[in-house]
């Protein structure tokens, strides 16, 4: 039996004794910082405070009007109906009606304003989080599942939004009502009030019992939801692979496991949270009994100190007194999970953005590039240095091809230049100045980077090409598409340049995506051009045609390309042969052929 209570429905208890101790002064204390998060939210609403005070004012009026209403009805019953005196009754009723309408009006006004305020705050928080994410490093995103991040942007903020809409007003109402009732009770009978108050310690104990448990549980629940999100996002994005490997059963099992974990923690969270109203209910009933019983005894013993009328009124007031408390504690669950969500949001906002303390802004660069003893590793714990002591120098306007086996660090060189990552050692110079001395956008806005994996947005083809240069005219876009050999196939599509690229990938092949992403680079007029396997999925006949466009594009710009075509490689000024993150040899095609080193070997391996 005891075991059944400890493990209801087979759910193992989740919380251990040590979880329930007083706040641990460990590093996870920050994560449990309820008040800290609340204060941050308060700071976040700085611009709205005046409105908030006004809302509190309106809510107070509403609460008082709400108390006056029933009081007036009682008055009418006592003074008109009981004594059967009906003169002026209609006027009085009209007056009460007016009070009701007024209180409904102020109530709606408060809610109306509060909804606006809450949603504005939520909007600001979303926008703040999103803008902050735009400033985070690529490394940050490498380490996290997209779905998990999305969960913070949506689920967590949504929970907060729902809470803000209702809890704040309810909270204020409860407090006002509480103060008003207790005052009246004290006025009627201090002794009975004191007796009624004996439930307060019980209440405090009960609430503390529950919140010590629900706090960590709600946090765990949000985290599990995030994990589940991450899993769903990944599996559904990779659905093609799931299907073709017939792994549906496996993903379903994995999913069930994660969903069961979530169910497990949700069960406990809901269970404990559900205790609060029950405790309130019991205390309510007890206080009712105390008033009736103790009041009755007092009436009998003290003879006249307490009247029947006082007991009746008190019984009603005792209810009035516990109701706002019940409301407050009911709100508590919601507030807890909302704060847990807000905390997760703030964690991201607190993540250091990419450092961008360079001072050089809006300066046109010529494009001279120097690598000086550069070291770099993607993850020092798992991988060795991808780039080791790499030094080279590229003149402005010079073109260079990077070749070497896979994993030699070719793409990494480009990513470092685009400053997706910071070097671990050594330095990268542009026009003789350290890359970190420039504002990021100074270099990025003058660089065109065609990535290995062409990514296109769910937007029209025109918008996708224009992404390279937002003020490009339609003619510029078409011109770029023509140079990239994309124009013909685009025109074959039903809506031409206005075809919306859906997530449905069938419409457009991988090679066609590469053509569009080349066109996207062609509309820009960069000082530095980075092409990472820009034509790998394009057939060789088309590739030959684009070749011209690319060579044209490379003219007069510092260009670094990664390619396999000899034609492309021969068209550049110099070739760098990389191996294991180091420079093996470099020089013009002819020089390398003459040297009979690695490049010569590679050519002759044909």
Taking residues 511 to 540 in sequence order and writing x for each that binds another protein by CB under 8 A, - otherwise, the string is xx-xx-----------------x--xxxxx
Q: Could you tell me which stretch among 39-47, 172-180, 182-190, 437-445 binds another protein (CB under 8 A)?
A: 437-445
Nearest distance from residue 84's CB to another protein, in Å? Answer: 6
295 vs 317: CA distance, rounded Å: 13
In the set 79, 302, 405, 588, which binds another protein (CB under 8 A)? 405
Please tell me whether residue 500 binds another protein under the rule CB under 8 A: no
SS3 418: coil
Nearest distance from residue 256's CB to another protein, in Å? Answer: 5
Residues 42-61 that bind another protein (CB under 8 A): none
Measured from the CB atom, the residue of 2 and 244 that comes closer to another protein is 244
Nearest distance from residue 448's CB to another protein, in Å? Answer: 8
Residues 150-189 that bind another protein (CB under 8 A): 150-151, 153-155, 158, 161, 165
Please tell me whether residue 64 binds another protein under the rule CB under 8 A: no
Q: Residue 185 burial by CB count (10 A; 0-12/13-18/19+): exposed, middle or buried?
A: buried
Nearest distance from residue 192's CB to another protein, in Å? Answer: 14
Residues 561-580 that bind another protein (CB under 8 A): 563-570
Phi, psi of 577 (to 5 degrees): -100, 115
Per-residue buried b or exposed e for 131-142, using 16+ beta carbons within 10 Å of the residue's own CB = eebeebbeebee
Q: Which residues contact 184 (CB under 8 A, 6 or more apart)?
A: 317
Extract the tokens encoding 457.
């947005």
In the set 32, 135, 434, 436, which binds another protein (CB under 8 A)? 135
Count of residues near another protein by CB under 8 A: 182
214 vs 220: CA distance, rounded Å: 10
Please tell me whether residue 491 binds another protein under the rule CB under 8 A: no
Please tell me whether residue 79 binds another protein under the rule CB under 8 A: no
Strands 528-532 and 558-562: parallel
254 vs 249: CA distance, rounded Å: 9
Please tell me whether residue 504 binds another protein under the rule CB under 8 A: yes
SS3 412: helix
Q: Which residues contact 402 (CB under 8 A, 6 or more apart)?
A: 410, 413, 560, 561, 562, 576, 578
Measured from the CB atom, the residue of 30 and 570 that comes closer to another protein is 570
Nearest distance from residue 590's CB to another protein, in Å? Answer: 16
CB 385 within 8 A of CB 377: yes
Please tell me whether residue 1 binds another protein under the rule CB under 8 A: no
Please tell me whether residue 543 binds another protein under the rule CB under 8 A: yes
State the number of CA atoms in the 13 A half-sphere of 392 facing the CB: 24
Nearest distance from residue 402's CB to another protein, in Å? Answer: 11
Residues 230-289 that bind another protein (CB under 8 A): 230, 232-248, 250-252, 255-256, 259-260, 262-263, 266-268, 270-271, 274-275, 277-279, 281-282, 285-286, 288-289
Residue pointed to by tokens 């029947």: 308
* β strands within 177-258, DSSP E: none
């Amino acid at each position: 039996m005891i075991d059944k209570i400890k493990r209801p429905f087979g759910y193992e208890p989740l919380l251990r004794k040590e979880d329930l101790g007083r706040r641990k002064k460990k590093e996870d204390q920050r994560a449990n910082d309820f008040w800290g998060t609340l204060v941050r939210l308060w700071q976040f609403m700085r611009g709205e405070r005046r409105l908030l005070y006004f809302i509190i004012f309106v809510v107070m009026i509403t609460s008082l009007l709400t108390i006056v209403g029933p009081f007036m009805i009682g008055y009418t019953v006592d003074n008109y109906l009981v004594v059967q005196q009906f003169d002026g009754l209609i006027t009085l009723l009209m007056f009460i009606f007016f009070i009701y309408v007024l209180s409904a009006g102020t109530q709606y006004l408060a809610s109306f304003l509060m909804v606006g305020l809450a949603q504005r705050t939520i909007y600001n928080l979303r926008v703040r989080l999103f803008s902050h994410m735009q400033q985070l490093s690529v490394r940050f995103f490498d380490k996290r599942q997209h779905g998990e991040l999305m969960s913070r942007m949506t689920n967590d903020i949504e929970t907060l939004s729902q809470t803000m809409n209702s809890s704040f007003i309810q909270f204020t109402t409860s407090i006002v009502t509480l103060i008003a009732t207790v005052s009246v009770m004290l006025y009627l009978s201090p002794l009975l009030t004191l007796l009624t108050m004996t439930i307060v310690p019980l209440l405090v104990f009960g609430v503390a019992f529950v919140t010590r448990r629900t706090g960590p549980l709600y946090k765990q629940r949000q985290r599990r939801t995030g994990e589940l999100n991450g899993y769903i996002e990944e599996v559904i994005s990779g659905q093609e692979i799931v299907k073709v490997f017939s792994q549906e059963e496996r993903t379903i099992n994995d999913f069930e496991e994660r969903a069961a974990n979530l169910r497990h923690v949700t069960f406990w969270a809901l269970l404990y949270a559900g205790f609060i109203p029950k405790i309130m209910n019991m205390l309510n009933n007890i206080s009712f009994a105390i008033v009736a019983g103790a009041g009755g005894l007092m009436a009998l013993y003290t003879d006249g100190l307490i009247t029947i009328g006082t007991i009746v009124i008190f019984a009603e007031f005792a209810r009035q007194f516990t109701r706002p408390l019940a409301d407050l504690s009911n709100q508590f669950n919601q507030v807890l999970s909302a704060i847990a969500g807000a905390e997760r949001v703030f964690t991201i906002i607190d993540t250091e953005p990419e450092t961008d303390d360079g001072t050089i802004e809006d300066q046109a660069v010529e494009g001279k590039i120097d690598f000086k003893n550069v070291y770099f590793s993607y993850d020092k714990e798992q991988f060795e240095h991808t780039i080791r002591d790499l030094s080279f120098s590229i003149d402005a306007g010079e073109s260079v091809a990077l070749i070497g086996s896979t994993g030699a660090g070719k793409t990494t060189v480009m990513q470092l230049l685009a400053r997706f990552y910071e070097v671990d050692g050594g330095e990268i110079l542009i026009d003789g100045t350290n890359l970190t001395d420039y504002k990021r956008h100074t270099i990025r806005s003058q660089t065109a980077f065609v990535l290995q994996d062409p990514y296109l947005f769910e937007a029209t083809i025109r918008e996708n090409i224009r992404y390279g240069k937002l003020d490009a005219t339609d003619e510029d876009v078409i011109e770029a598409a023509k140079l990239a050999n994309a124009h013909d196939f685009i025109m074959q599509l039903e809506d031409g340049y206005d075809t919306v690229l859906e997530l449905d990938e069938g419409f457009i092949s991988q090679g066609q995506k590469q053509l569009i992403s080349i066109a996207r680079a062609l509309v820009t007029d960069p000082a530095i051009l980075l092409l990472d396997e820009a034509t790998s999925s394009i057939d060789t006949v088309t590739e030959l045609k684009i070749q011209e466009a690319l060579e044209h594009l490379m003219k007069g710009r510092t260009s670094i390309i990664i390619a396999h075509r000899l034609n492309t490689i021969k068209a550049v000024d110099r070739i760098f042969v990389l191996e294991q993150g180091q420079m093996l040899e470099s020089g013009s095609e002819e020089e390398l052929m003459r040297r009979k080193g690695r490049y010569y070997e590679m050519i002759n391996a044909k």
